[in-house]
Amino acid sequence: MTEVSYAVVIPTIGRPGLANLVKAVDGDPAPSCIVVADDRRAATSELDLPQTAAPLLVVHTGGRGPAAARNAGWQAADAEWPEDKWIAFLDDDVVVPVDWCRRLVNDLKDLPDNVAASQAWISVPVPEGRRPTDVERRTLGLNGASWITADMAYRRTALVETGGFDERFPRAFREDADLALRTVRNGYAIAWGERVTTHPLASSTNWRNGLIDSLTDQAGNADNALMRAKYGRRWRSLIGTTPGRTGRHLITSAAAITAVVACAPKHPGRISTVLAATASLVWAGLTAEFAAGRILAGPRTLPEISSMVVTSLLIPPLAVGHRLRGELRVRSAHRASSVKPRAVLFDRDGTLIKDVPYLADPRRVQPVPGARRTLNQLRRQGIAVGVVSNQSGVARGLINPDELARVNARVESLLGPFDTWQVCPHAPDAHCTCRKPEPGMVTAAARELGLTPSECLLIGDIGSDVDAALAAGARAVLVPTRDTKVDEIHHAHVVAAVAPNLRTAVRRHIGRS
Ligand SMILES: [Mg+2]
Ligand SMILES: [Zn+2]
C-alpha cells in the first residue's frame, strides 16, 4: 500500500458537533494535522475542542465565509506540513463513521496521479412518516450530490495549481462546485470514494425561523451571477445542476410591477386596464404555480402551507434583487480590473535583476531574462515604468548611498530609463511607512507619475511586494523565483495574481499594444 499523508481541514462557525467530529478524525492512520478554521464573526469564546493525538491547529478567519476559511486552513496545514499529499475538507456539521481515517486512506491510496480529488457519498436521513419540509428538501438535495466539500479530499498540488477556493463566494454555496470545475478544467478527474458521511437534516426550529431561512437562502442568487460571469450561460450544466427559476422569477416580478404601474393613473384608460388585468393574471398564475409546487412536495401541514404561501409571494422579487446585486458586483469588479494600468512598478532585486543580497557593486548587476524587452514594450505602449525597492543595506551600513546610486545607474544603463525611482533605505525596525509591505513607495510613485495607485500595477517576487501594492490600492502580480515562499505564492493566487515571468505578467495584465 502506498503511503497516504493527509491533513484534515474543518471550517467552523462553532456548531455543536465540532468536538465529536474532531475526535472522530483523530484516528488511525493518523492525519499529519487537524486544522480548525474558526470562522465565527465574533469569536468571543474559545472553541470547545478535545485533546487530540494529532497536532491540532486553530486559525481564525473572522466570518469571511467557508471558502476563505478552507483556504486559510489548507494553507496553514501546507506551511507546517508541506510533505502532505492530500487535504481532506470536512464541514463542521457532518457525522463521520468511527473508522473514517481508515476509510479515507482506503479511498486515496491507489488513486492515479490524474485524479485530484476524492469525494465521499453524502447521506442525509429522510424524515420518517411524512414528506420533508421546504427547508429539509434543500439539505436532502445533498444526497449523493457531487462535488460537495462536506467531505472531500483534494490533492495539495491541485489546490496550489488552482489557488484553492474562490473567496468571492461569501457563503456555503457554489464555492465547492466552482473549485471542482476549475480542477476538472485543469485536466484532472474527481473520483467517488467508498466512504459515506452523514449530513444531518437541517430543520428549522419553528415556523418563523423556517420562513426566514427560505428567504435568506435567496442571497445565493448573487453567487449564481458570479458563476455565470466565470463560466458563461452554460454554467448550470457544467456543474450538473438543474435549471433555476430565475427566468420565471423575473417574469413574476415584472408582471407585478407592470400591474401596479398600469393602475397608477387616476383615470386609467382602456389599454392600462387591460394591461393591468393581464399582468395581474400572469403574476397570480406564476405565483400560484410556484407555491403549489412547494406545498405539494411538502408535509402539507397548516404551518408549512402558510409558510409556503408567504415565501412564494416574497421569493420572486427577493431572488431577482439578489441576482441583480450579484450582476452589478460582477460588473463593477470587472470594470475595476479592466482599467488598463497606466504604470507598472517593479521590485528591483529578484524581479528586474538577479537578487544579490546587499548589492553594492555595479558590475554585479545582472538583469533577469526578458526584462529589457518587457520594459521597452511598455515604454512603446506609453505606459510609465518605475522601481520600488527596499534597500535596508543602507541603514545597516552594508551599502553606502554612493554605491546604491551607482548600482541603480547601472540598472538604468542596462534596462533603460525609469519614470520614477522609489527606494527605502531604512532598517526594518525603523518602522517607516515606505518599506514594503508598507504602501508608502507605491503611493509616492503614483503621485510622482500623476496617477492614482489604482492605475498602477506592481510586479514583485515576494509577498511583501504584493502586500504593499494591495495596501496602497494598486494591483499586483507575483513572479516567483526559487526563493519565493510557497505560502506567499498561494496567498498571491488568492488576493492578486501569479505569473511565471515578467513577459507573461505584462501580457496578461496589460496586453499587447
Ligand atoms: Mg525582491
Ligand atoms: Zn523606509
Pick the range with the lowest mean pLDDT from 193-197, 406-410, 433-437, 509-513.
Answer: 509-513
pLDDT at 1: 47
Active-site annotation holds for 84: no
Any idea which ligand is nearest the CA of 440? 2
Which one is catalytic: 38, 78, 349, 461?
349
451 CA to middle of ligand 1, Å?
24
Residue 459's nearest CA partner among 438, 480, 439, 443 is 480
Q: What is the distance between the alpha carbons of residues 357 and 394, in angstroms, rounded to a whole number?
A: 12
pLDDT one-digit tens code per residue, 34-55: 999 999 988 678 888 999 999 9
464 CA to middle of ligand 1, Å?
9
Statement: residue 242 has pLDDT above 90: no
Q: What is the distance between the alpha carbons of residues 259 and 286, in angstroms, rounded to a whole number?
A: 14
For the segment 14-39, the average pLDDT, to the nearest whole number, is 95
421 CA to middle of ligand 1, Å?
15
- In the chain, the amino acid numbered 145 is A
Statement: residue 4 has pLDDT above 60: yes
pLDDT at 44: 76
pLDDT category of residue 332 using cuts at 50, 70 and 90: confident
pLDDT at 154: 97
Active-site annotation holds for 419: no
Domains detected in the chain = 6-203 (3.90.550.10), 239-338 (no CATH), 343-509 (3.40.50.1000)
Grid cell of 148 as nine digits: 460537495
Check residues 196 and 145 and name the one with the higher pLDDT. Answer: 196
For the segment 408-421, the average pLDDT, to the nearest whole number, is 97
pLDDT at 200: 87
433 CA to middle of ligand 2, Å?
6
Q: What is the distance between the alpha carbons of residues 39 and 63, in angstroms, rounded to a whole number?
A: 5
pLDDT one-digit tens code per residue, 270-297: 888 899 999 999 999 999 999 999 999 9
pLDDT one-digit tens code per residue, 334-377: 666 667 799 999 999 999 999 999 999 999 999 999 999 999 99
Kindly report the number of other CB atoms within 10 A of residue 338's CB atom.
7
Statement: residue 508 has pLDDT above 70: yes
Q: What is the distance between the alpha carbons of residues 50 and 47, in angstroms, rounded to a whole number?
A: 10
pLDDT one-digit tens code per residue, 427-455: 999 989 999 999 999 999 999 999 888 88
pLDDT one-digit tens code per residue, 313-325: 999 999 999 999 9
Grid cell of 261 as nine digits: 404601474
Which one is catalytic: 38, 91, 347, 465?
347
Across the chain, mean pLDDT equals: 90
470 CA to middle of ligand 2, Å?
17
216 CA to middle of ligand 2, Å?
48
H or E stretch including 196?
strand 189-198
Any idea which ligand is nearest the CA of 464? 1
DSSP per residue, 217-274: GGGHHHHHHHHHHHH-TTHHHHTT----SHHHHHHHHHHHHHHHHHH-SSS--HHHHH
77 CA to middle of ligand 1, Å?
26
**What residues have their beta carbon closer than 5 A to ion ligand 1?**
347, 349-350, 461
Any idea which ligand is nearest the CA of 389? 1
In percent, the amount of the chain with pLDDT more than 70 equals 97
